[in-house]
Amino acid sequence: MDLEHLLADLAQGRTAALARAISIVENGRPGFEQLLGAVHPRLGRARRVGMTGPPGAGKSSLARLLVEAWRADGCTVAVVALDPSSPFSGGALLGDRIRMEAIALDPGVYIRSMATRGTLGGLATSTREVCDVLDAGGFDRILIETVGVGQSELAVTGMADSTVLVLVPESGDGIQTLKSGVMEAVDIFAVNKADRPGADTMAREVEITLGLRHRNGVSGSPSFPGWEPPVLLTAAVKGEGIDALVAALDRHFSWLEASGELATRRRVRLAARTREVVDRAMNRWVWQETGADEVLQNRIDDVAAGRVSPYHLAQEIVSGLKEGSRA
Amino acid sequence: MDLEHLLADLAQGRTAALARAISIVENGRPGFEQLLGAVHPRLGRARRVGMTGPPGAGKSSLARLLVEAWRADGCTVAVVALDPSSPFSGGALLGDRIRMEAIALDPGVYIRSMATRGTLGGLATSTREVCDVLDAGGFDRILIETVGVGQSELAVTGMADSTVLVLVPESGDGIQTLKSGVMEAVDIFAVNKADRPGADTMAREVEITLGLRHRNGVSGSPSFPGWEPPVLLTAAVKGEGIDALVAALDRHFSWLEASGELATRRRVRLAARTREVVDRAMNRWVWQETGADEVLQNRIDDVAAGRVSPYHLAQEIVSGLKEGSRA
């Protein structure tokens, strides 16, 4: 890989270079860590917004309107879709696809859907890395769309500067979800399909849950004093509430900068990233460069027969690795 | 922890010992790997069945009927619920909860819901370990219920001997999901809510997709020649199709045993488990027993300022670890 060349093309915003760099990073091809290392000093320009919520909440429609609003403000936008059923990923009803085409043809918009195979942990890591490439590629906004059921809702918060949770009046399990630790990680709530019955009730329930936490001695957001997560009503199909969402995101970003929280979040993300890269390298080392895999293969019959437990065998392998390290 | 005592109580099927052992394993408390190592020779008695599918497909109702059918056959049953909105997890509508109570009060049934925080990878590991405790606890059947959106559908296949995918006629993204690699991992398809329009069409679509793969040169299941994944129609609300599901599971288990596939699947699972335990131990070693975390903390300001990339710092840390190992 001619890294210098690719980086120069990327800096000039060439789409082919962008696609190539992303594919190198997403697939972990040789040189991908060098590439990411080289773009590192340039990062931090893009605002990263995560959008999550249960299937059918209308995230994609809301996302599309958000992209259009940002474009109208003169921002370039990259969309990273982690939801395989998202119209951004090509998996959608015909009507959605047609509406999506208008923005897909806009040269100021770049859409990338990520393969969602493998573990969520691995996916989170490579998504963050793809976002770095997009940041280095000069996009003003990066929108990360995930389908959220419990743990995946939490995963997006580690990728974005601002996290929007999209709910619908029918989200019977909405409050349920919030209780299980998601709420603390959300910066803005959007109750979508707000023209349906129950939207106000839903919004109030979220506000009450937020308020209860206040009264329990936390001011501002549960996790971030000074920021009160707004609960917005949106109706993506009618295009309602988008201006308020854009404004809330701007307000949140200003708060992130002013409070020092932006620097903190990015620092935490970078430390986590470094840990992930170390773990990935150690994993590669253990299974590809030491004799660990051979030991495993030689002894697996004993494990299958119940003579040795996986824990015993693992301890044997680990002792071998550590002993090498102490010798 | 008095391991001997706990193991003896567990062997006698004492519920308190079971709950205690599971909680030790689920939370990774001191001695949990010893406990798992000690039960290892006793494993392999229980049949593990995974049930997955999109939210709202009626998995929980189907699961409840399956549990009742197994109980009627005289089997003891453990249910592991990974879906936070499952009635097994207590997160459900009142009607569901009432129906669930009948089986929850049956002493031959043990229900455990798993906390779904953290990464899916970690969750899969601890679910497998909890299933081991249940296996050692003497249950005849273990039913693992997960909510499936893409990657989580795949995760359950690594936990179970047989995997059931529950779809509904409305699963517009059903075939979409199947295409993305899930189909190969499914042993039995259940098109639930079969009284609704479109159920036959849905079932046929699945069959056609399966059939197309046949014609592409694969006989039997895409992954497992000799097993043709049946596509069943069920209507959990009316109690229809449960006998066929139980029969299909029995047939699948007989095939697993006769073909040698059961031994293969369990062997693969044990090798994966050993790898996970090694990775977990190495991770603990790297971040808690070496100076790696200190190096990270000391240099993170340089990373945040863009002077050093996470990749460069990670390489420094890894080199240090490996050098220790070579010295």
pLDDT of residue B209: 80
Is residue A211 very low, low, confident or very high in pLDDT (cuts 50, 70, 90)? Answer: confident
CB contact under 8 Å between B277 and A314, yes or no, is: yes
Shortest CB distance from A84 goes to which of B44, B180, B271?
B180
Q: Poorest-confidence range of A21-25, A91-95, B78-82, B322-326? A: A91-95
Tokens found for residue B15: 């519920």
B151, B154, B309 ranked by CB distance to A40: nearest: B309
Distance CA B189, CA B165 (A): 5
Q: Is B232 left (phi over 0), alpha (psi -120 to 50) or beta?
A: beta
Q: Which residue has the higher pLDDT, A215 or A7?
A: A7
Cβ contact (<8 Å) for A303 and B93?
no
Dist CA B291 CA A164 (whole Å): 38
In chain A, whose CA is at the least distance from the CA of B301? A267
* Predicted confidence (pLDDT) at residue A297 exceeds the cutoff of 70: yes
Nearest to residue B143, comparing CAs of B236, B71, B35?
B71
Residue B322: which of A44, A119, A285 has the nearest Cβ? A285
Residue A54 has what pLDDT?
77
With a pLDDT cut of 70, the percent of chain A lying above it is 79
Q: What is the mean pLDDT of residues A167-178?
A: 66
Structure tokens at B190: 């259940």
What span, in angstroms and rounded, lies between the C-alpha atoms of B120 and A149?
11
Distance of CA B180 to the CA centre of its chain: 19
Residues of A with CB below 8 A from B37's CB? 309-312
pLDDT confidence bin for A89, thresholds 50/70/90: low
Residues in B closer than 8 angstroms to A42, CB to CB, are: 306
Region A64-84: mean pLDDT is 90
Higher pLDDT, B54 or A258: A258
Interface test with B, best of A274, A316, A321 (most B CBs within 10 A): A274
Which residue is closest to A282 within chain B, CA to CA? Answer: B318
pLDDT of residue B222: 47
The mean pLDDT value for B194-216 works out to 80
pLDDT band at A87 (very low <50, low <70, confident <90, very high): low
Q: Mean pLDDT throughout B5-21?
A: 90
Q: Distance (Å) from the C-alpha of residue B171 to the closest C-alpha of chain A?
A: 11
Q: Which residue has the higher pLDDT, B225 or B162?
A: B162
Q: What is the pLDDT of residue B219?
A: 45
Q: What ipTM did this prediction achieve?
A: 0.78
Which residues, 6+ apart, have CB-to-CB distance to A181 below 8 Å? A154, B117
Helix-helix angle B261-284:A261-284, to 10 degrees: 120
User: What pLDDT band is residue B125 in, cutting at 50, 70 and 90?
Assistant: confident
Q: Rounded to a whole number, what is the distance in Å from the CA of B104 to chain A's nearest CA?
A: 21
Supply the pLDDT for residue B154: 61
Q: What order of strands is seen across the sheet that includes strand B188-191?
A: B109-113, B77-81, B141-145, B47-52, B162-167, B188-191, B231-233
